[in-house]
Chain A
Amino acid sequence: MRLPLRVRIKDVGGIKPALKLTIALGSAVCLAALSAFILSREPFAALRAFFLVPFSVQSTFLSMIEASAPLALCSLGVVVTFRAGHYSLGGEGQAYAGAVAATAIAQASAAHAGSGATLLAIVGAAAAGSIVAAIPAAGKRYAGADVLLTSILVSQGVIFSMDWLIGGPLRDSSINLVAMKAIPSATLLVRLAPPATLTMSPLLALALCYAGWWYFERSRAGAAHDMYGKNPRFAGLQGYNEAVFAWAPIVIAGALHGVAGAVMSLGFMGTAIRGMSGGIGWSAIGSALVAGSNPAALPFSALLFSWLDAGARQAAVLADLPPDSGQVIKAVVILTVSARPAFNARRTLPLPGARR
C-alpha cells in the first residue's frame, strides 16, 4: 500500500528535535552506506572514507566543525524568519553579500584598524546581509508583499550583482582565480589548530544558537514571536506589536546570514571567490527543518550536513563516490524528516459523515 506524504514547511511542535536529529542521522548513515554500495566500485573504501576519515583524521574533523559554523548561523536565520511565519528564501544572497562586504571592509580597514578590522568586517557583513533582507521586509511591512517571492527575487539579483563585483571591479586581476584580493592574514580569524581550518567561528555560532534558544524558549518576546508566526492577528489582539514582527525577524535573519558570509571569507578561504555561497541557503533551510526549528539543535544538524559534505568529498578522494552524492543524501534526509505518512494527518481530520 502506498502512503501519500505531506511535507511540513514550517515545523514548530510535532516530533521532538532530538528524535528528528536521530531520524536524520539514521537516514543519512543508511543512505551513505547505500550510495557507497550502489555508486562506487570500491564500496568498502568509500564506506571507510565516508564514515571513518572525517572523524579519525584530526585536521579533517576540526575543519568539518569549522564548515558547520556558517551553516549553523544561516540555519538560525531561517528559524528566526520561519518562526515568525515569514518564509524567506533569500538566505544565499544575504550570505554572499556579507562575504563580499566583509572582504572589502577587511581590506580597506586592515591598515588603520589593526585587529579591530576583523570585528569591523563582521559588523559590516551583518549590515550588508540586513540591507539585502530589508528589501523584502519593507515590502512585507508597507505593501503586504509575499516574502517567499520577494526574498528569492532579491536574493537572485544580489547573487548576480556580487558575481559581477567579484568578477569585475573588485577582482584581483593579478591572479587567475575569479576572486577578490586576499585579506591580510593578520585580519583573518585566528586558526586554533593548524593544519585544520578551525577558528572561533563554531563557538560564535554555538553562542548565537544558544541565545536564540533562550530567546524562543525563555523570553516573553520569543513567545510573542512564535505567537505572531502562528496567528498574527491573535498576537495583535494580545497587545504585541504586529508591525515590528512584520519586518524585524527578516532583517535579523539577514544579519545572521551576513555574519555567516563573513565567517566564510575571514576563515581559511581568506577572500571572496565567485560562487562561494552556492547552496548555503538551501542547506540552511534543510538544517533548520532537521533541527525542528529549535535553535539548540541547530549546531548538531549543521554538523550533520557538514559531515555529509566532508564524507562525500573524502569518499570521492579516497574511493570513487561522486562528490555531489552528499547533496543528494542531504535532500533525501530533508524529505525523510519533513514528510510524514498521511494517516498521521488524517487522525486530525473529521471522519466522513461526522458532524462538523
Chain B
Amino acid sequence: MNRFLAFVFTVLTLSSCAKETAGPDPLSVAVFVPGVASGSPTYEMLVAGATKAVAETEGASIKIIEAGYDQATWMDRLRDTVASGEFGVVVSSNPSLPELCAKVSRDYPAVRFIIADAYLSGHPAIHTVLYNQKEQGYLVGYLAGLVTKERSPGKPPVAGLIAAQRYPTLDKLIRPGFEAGLRAVDPDFRLEYREIGNWYDSAKAAELAAALYGAGVEVILPIAGSAGQGVVSVADERGASVVWFDGAGYRMDPDTVIGCATIAQDKLVYERLKSALGGDSSRYGTADIVSIRGGYVGFDPDGPGYANLPESIRLAMTTAIGNLAAGTPDFSFDTF
C-alpha cells in the first residue's frame, strides 16, 4: 500500500512540473453561455452574433461553451475556459459575468472579455454593454397598463411582475421602467411583485402566477428565465395575458403572450466582436449603454397575441414607441 501511494505521489509531483502554455491567440473566441443556448433567445442571439463576426474574420475561430444554469459553477467553468490558454477573447452575456471575469482576469491579464447585458466600467480587459432596460420595461409596462384598463375598466388597476430573484438591473432598471409604463397609462396603477428564488422552478412560478391572476391581475411580466414558462402556462389556462422581455415570447404561446420587448443582441455582439477581432482595442475598459435610439432596444409587434389586441391599443403602443425613440419620456443615463 505504502509503495503504491509513494508511486502515485511521485507521478503527481513530476506532473506538476508541467509548463504553462504560451499566450492566447487574439483571434480565438470563446462564447461563454451562462446557461444553455438552445431555447434561450438572448443566448441564441449571442451565439449568432459572435458566429457571424468570426465567420467574417479571416483566421478567427470560435468555440461555444455552455456553463449551465448553476451560478455556483460558472466561476470554475469560466476559469477553465481562460486557463486553457486557447482563447484570446471571451464573449458572454449576463449581468453577473463582469464580476467573475474581473476575478479571473487578475490571473490571466492577456485575455479580453466582451460582455453584453452587463455593466462594469474601468477594467482594462473588459468591455461591457448594457441595454437600457428601463426603456424595455416601460414599453411592456405601457402595454400591460393599456390591456388591463381595457379589460377591467372599473377595477383598481393592478399588474404583476414575477422575478427569479432580485438583482441590481432588475431593481434599478426593469422594475422602475415597468412601473413607469403602467403609471403612464394610469398614475394609480399598483404593481404586485413576487419572487421565485431561482431561474428554473416553473412550478413555483406557476403557483405565484395563479395567485396573482386569482387576485385580479390581468397581465404579468415574468423575468424568470426558463421558469417563466410556468407563468405562461397558468395565463393560458385562465385566459389571462403575459408580456415578455428580451424577445421571442410569442414562440412560447402565440395568443397568451401579448407583447415582447426586444434587444438586438445579435447585432450588438456582431458589431463589438467584429471590431475587436479587427484590432480595435479601444473599447476595453469602457462600459456602454445602448438604447432604443440606436436600435438596440425595441418592441416586437409580429405576434398573434399582439395582433389580436384592439386596434386602439396597438395605435397607442405605436405612438408610445415613437415617443420613446424621440426621447419622451427620457430614460437615458450615463453610468449604472
What residues make up the interface of A, taking CB atoms closer than 8 Å to B?
16-18, 21-22, 53, 55-63, 65, 163, 167, 173-178, 194-195, 197, 268-270, 273-276, 278, 296-297, 300, 303, 310, 313-314, 316-318, 323-324
Contacts and interface: CB of A to CB of B under 8 A. Distances in A.
B70 A278 contact: yes
A58 B77 contact: no
Residue of B8, B96, B166 with most partner-chain A CB within 10 A: B8
B83 interface: yes
B168 to A, nearest CB: 6
Q: Tell me if A's interface is mostly helix, strand, loop or mixed.
A: helix
B5 interface: yes
Interface string B57-75: 0000001011110111101
Given A276-B72, A278-B72, A60 B1 contact: no
B77 A313 contact: yes
Given A60-B83, A167-B165, A303 B12 contact: yes
Residue of A173, A270, A313 with most partner-chain B CB within 10 A: A313
Contacts of A317: 30, 63, 65, 77, 80-81, 84, 86
B168 A176 contact: yes
B58 to A, nearest CB: 23
B1 A16 contact: yes
Contacts of A174: 168
B16 A62 contact: yes
A235 to B, nearest CB: 26
Given A177-B96, A316-B65, A195 B5 contact: no
Interface stretch (B18-26, B203-211, B240-248): B18-26
B308 interface: no
Contacts of A61: 15-16, 18
Given A176-B118, A195-B107, A317-B84, 7 more contacts: A65-B16, A178-B71, A278-B70, A297-B1, A303-B12, A317-B63, A317-B65
A180 B108 CA distance: 24
A75 B30 CA distance: 35
Contacts of B95: 176
Nearest to B11: A55
Contacts of A57: 18, 20-21, 83-85
A63 B83 contact: yes
B71 A273 contact: yes
Contacts of B171: 173
Q: Interface residue tally of chain B, by bracket?
A: 35 or more
Interface string B151-179: 00000000000000111110100000000
Contact of B79 (A63, A297, A324): A63
B333 interface: no
A57 B108 CA distance: 14
B322 interface: no
Nearest to A160: B197
A314 B80 contact: yes
Interface string B84-112: 11100000001110011001000110000
8 cross-chain pairs, A with B, having the tightest CB-CB distances, nearest first: A195-B107, A176-B95, A275-B72, A176-B96, A18-B4, A276-B72, A176-B167, A177-B96
Interface of B: 1, 4-5, 8, 12, 15-21, 30, 63, 65-68, 70-73, 75-77, 79-81, 83-86, 94-96, 99-100, 103, 107-108, 118, 165-169, 171, 197
Contacts of A18: 1, 4-5
A313 B167 contact: no
Contacts of A197: 79
A58 B20 contact: yes
A71 B3 CA distance: 24
A324 B66 CA distance: 11
6 contacts: A18-B5, A21-B4, A56-B15, A57-B20, A274-B72, A278-B72
Given A55-B15, A175-B96, A176-B95, A273 B83 contact: no
A195 B68 contact: no
A42 to B, nearest CB: 11
Contact of A297 (B5, B21, B166): B5
B328 to A, nearest CB: 30
Contact of A167 (B16, B66, B197): B197
Nearest to A174: B168
Contacts of A163: 197
Contacts of B68: 323-324
B99 A175 contact: yes
B5 A318 contact: no
A159 to B, nearest CB: 12
Contacts of B12: 65, 303
Given A276-B72, A300-B8, A323-B77, A195 B99 contact: no
A296 B80 contact: no
B1 A59 contact: no
Nearest to A319: B63
Residue of A16, A57, A62 with most partner-chain B CB within 10 A: A57
B166 A173 contact: yes
B258 to A, nearest CB: 28
Contacts of A178: 71, 165, 167
B100 A177 contact: yes
B204 to A, nearest CB: 13
A278 B70 CA distance: 9
Given A58-B20, A61-B18, A175-B168, A275 B70 contact: yes
A296 B70 CA distance: 33
Contacts of A318: 63, 84, 86
A270 B169 CA distance: 23
A56 to B, nearest CB: 5
A194 B81 CA distance: 16
B301 to A, nearest CB: 30
Contacts of B99: 175-177
Contacts of B30: 317
